[in-house]
Amino acid sequence: MSTITTTTRSATALAPRVPLTALPEGYASLFFAAAAPPPGKNAITRARGVPLETFIAIMHFVRDGSERDLVRATHVCTGWRRAIVECGHLWSDLDQVNVVDTVTVERVRVVAARAKDHLRRLALTFDVEDDPSLCLTIAVVVKQIFREVSRCGARGLEELTVDLRPIFHLLEDLEPAYNVVVLAIQFAEFSAVNLRTLKIFTALDRFPSGAPFLSSLPDLDKMVITSALNDPYGEMRLPDFFSIMPLESAQLTSCALTRLVLRGTSLMDSTFPDFPALREVKLLSVRICNLYGLLVRAPAIQTLWLRSVQTDPANRFLPPAPGGGPKDVPAPLELPALRHLCIAGESPLLWVPPTPTTSHFVVVTPFLETVDLGQQYDCERDEESGMLRVYLSTLHPTPDSLSTLFRNAPHLRKLRMTSHHSPLDILSPALRHAAPDTLTTLLIGGTSFATDALVDRLGLDVLPSLVWLDVFHPDGKEVNRVTVQALARLGERYKSVKVPALGGPNEGKNALTLVTNEPFTAADPSTSDLRAALRNLLLTLSPAQVSHLPSQLALNPPPGALSFPVIAHEINVMPLPPARPPFPLKPNGKSSAAGDPLDDPATAERKRRNAAAAAASAPRPVADQAMVDEAKRALQRWHVRREEEWALASCRRDDSGVELVWGVREYDDEGWACGKAHPGAAEWLKGAEDDD
């Protein structure tokens, strides 16, 4: 009973989702409780049923789970059916409308009629189940669907989605797909004029409408259009969406868009209206003629993605110079609201001074927080190969451009350059000359400049606010050039200042998180195994050959490592026989079974030393150079393992202030790397797998 009461109260709390004025009335005698007790009854008399608004709130939960379950609820009784059918808010979504389904038109007719003016969302899909013949009639069915929605009131519709991607591999003739897009645009232009979100997913090579339809949607704040991805710079183009208005002589002066997402298209506009509300722009495999002009008109932009974006030189669209001289280059562009920036592929860098023939320009972003210049994955697979599409890291960065980035973004907090393909160290000079004090997160795994030398340059004098460093190499520990020894030294430098300051509520927290490849696993040979293999090789060398090995050892000492003299002594004495322990005498005074008669500990010690000296003076043959080289490699493997264990011990001390985290390269069912499980990846993948 308590569970039912709690559920009823929770549902009642959510009742304001439905205005009480929109609820049907008059069901007290059927199922629902009356607002007041019946005449002549005491006020404390238990009302019959539940309040109507509580029932409707519960049905909203049912509808969120499945439209089919809501339909089943209408068959419980007359009261339930009347309440559910006449509450238009319960039928506000037409989701996953499969155009090729035989009952689709009837479903749309019934739901639209019940929704009345409350239909808010319509999403069309095309699941033909590998039957190309079903594609021939999709335009006819879509036309019927739009007619039914318009008949019941399309002006209340706020979101329209048309997803044609599932059928393109079956289409021999693209005309039905073009007709569907045309119908969707006409429906939006003449019927659903109050749309706020428009999403059209296709693989067409052109788009059949432009500015006329956009000007008919004054409330549109989110537009997502995708097209063919294979050749983003071919003939596929969007018409002039913003520059031309055939219905009027003037241009579109202002646009209400807050979010613009384009993929695989070409935006040919040379001029743009003002975008006072535009907050997010994502361009993926897009050719845009005047990127500079778009950004000039969007001063409030907060998120900008430029993945494989091609654009013309910015000065091409500037006004002509007085007197007919050459055009000037564009001035630095200020984007004071920009917070998150992602650049990949052939997209222009925003920190390279422009020239009359290049598409680069400089932006000033005083409050920019995150920048992603590394390799990125698309959320979709290539139709032919089935692989996740990869956007290569940006092609043009230099130390000077990164320095300009740091100077123009004084509040930069996070920089990601994972798997950047540059063969040169472009980061160290930029950090040395213009490292921002606010940088807290640095991701450089899989790059050529992620080395011990770079890590050894980092410190409180370069990046005083650093709390997260990711040097994980996705291709494995064998190619990772950042060792845990260097990371342990870095942690020691940050610990010396940061850890004592961690008092009060921060006590016990780590000052620095380091993400890298696990240096060794349980399947690798243990340290004792490596030592035994090394000793067996040293036994084949002459004493002189052994004495030269320590000087050829490459040291990479972490905090707490042994000094070189101690290491050299260990190597020199390793081939010697182990010292025999002093065997005690039996109680009867005779010798023990383990060794010679021992009169006392002093005699035992003298005999042990004599045996060791005799073994040391015993000549060992000179080995060939191949054996020496093999011993050298075994020595390096053994000592590297010891250094790694010392580094791990240093980082795992309670007072180290360092947390070592092993990176993960996750693979999906088809064997492609996704990277979702990698530490810290969720933040950088945010938005990559949404409905856009």
**Alpha-carbon gap, residue 227 to 206, rounded angstroms:** 8
Contacts with 660 (C-beta within 8 Å, 6 or more apart), sequence order: 484, 487, 514, 516, 648, 651, 652
Output the pLDDT for position 263.
Answer: 85
Cα–Cα distance for residue pair 142/187, rounded to 1 Å = 10
Residue percentage of the chain with pLDDT more than 70: 73
pLDDT tens for each residue of 296-339: 999 999 999 998 888 988 888 888 877 777 888 889 999 999 99
SS (H, E, C) 412-435: CCEEECCCCCCCCCCHHHHHHHHC
Asked if residue 472 lies in contact with residue 501, where contact means CB atoms within 8 angstroms, the answer is no
The full length of the chain comes to: 692
Number of Cβ within a 10 Å radius of residue 185: 21
Q: How far apart, in whole angstroms, are the C-alpha atoms of residue 411 and residue 203?
A: 40
Per DSSP, the residues of 158-175 read: -EEEEE-GGGTTT-S--H
pLDDT of residue 453: 93
What is the mean pLDDT of the segment spanning 63-85?
A: 85
| pLDDT tens-digit map of 541-567 | 998 999 999 999 999 999 989 999 999
- Report pLDDT for 7: 40
Q: Which residue has the higher pLDDT, 591 or 680?
A: 680
Does 589 have pLDDT greater than 80? no
In sequence order, the 6+-apart residues with CB closer than 8 A to the CB of 75 are 81
The pTM of the full predicted model, rounded to 2 decimals, is: 0.81
Q: Band of the pLDDT at 128, cuts 50, 70, 90?
A: confident
134-138, 225-229, 435-439, 637-641: range with lowest mean pLDDT: 225-229
Instruction: Measure the CA–CA gap between 178 and 168, rounded to whole angstroms.
Output: 11
Inter-residue contact 116 to 151 (CB < 8 Å): no
Instruction: Report whether pLDDT(169) > 50.
Output: yes
| Confidence band for 497, pLDDT divided at 50, 70 and 90 | low
* 8 A C-beta contact, residue 157 and residue 149: yes
Task: Look up residue 446 and give its two tokens.
Answer: 């899989």
Residue 508 backbone phi and psi in degrees, to 5: 90, -10
More confident call, 284 vs 629: 629
Indicate if the pLDDT at residue 183 is higher than 80: yes
Cα gap 209→186, rounded to integer Å: 9
DSSP 8-class letter at 560: T
Domain map of the chain by residue range? 1-90, 529-651
Q: 443 near 498, Cβ under 8 Å?
A: no
Q: Where are the alpha helices (DSSP H) in 419-557?
A: 427-434, 452-457, 484-498, 527-538, 543-547
Q: What local confidence, expressed as pLDDT, does residue 79 receive?
A: 81
Check residue 227 and give its pLDDT. Answer: 79
Q: Taking a C-beta distance cutoff of 8 angstroms, is the pair 265, 229 a contact? A: no
- Strands, DSSP E only, in 517-594? none
CB neighbours of residue 570 within 10 Å: 14
Q: Which of 195-199, 355-359, 509-513 holds the top average pLDDT?
A: 195-199
Three-class SS state of 681? helix
